[in-house]
Amino acid sequence: MTARMRTITEAIAAIKAADPQTAFTQTALRRMIRSGEIKSVKVGCKYLVNLDTLLDYLADPVSGNTKILEVSGIRRIPEKVTRGIKTV
């Protein structure tokens, strides 16, 4: 079986075609990809997700190899981002 890889926009369009009343958005999917909840492949500047895996996860997010995130506190900014910024 071949993987049905889709961009974020295409994945959301497929989900909305299956369920027009869904509240799932591109922003939510991007956030899940960046946090590692949803596995993805970055090609250039786009993320590709396996549509079947995404649909399975959305059907039952508790079972399987899902990652529960605990977020608290302030994130440290990577050093490479702060280079070139003058501090007062």
List the structure tokens of 39: 């596995």
Residue with tokens 């949803």: 38
List the structure tokens of 12: 């959301």
DSSP 14: H
Q: What is the mean pLDDT of residues 70-82?
A: 58
CA distances to 11, 31, 37 from 76, rounded to whole Å, are: 31, 18, 21
Whole-angstrom distance between the N-terminal and C-terminal Cα of the chain? 57
pLDDT averaged over every residue in the chain: 81
Q: How much is the pTM? A: 0.66
Residues 33-74: tens digit of each pLDDT = 999 889 899 999 999 999 999 998 988 877 655 444 455 566
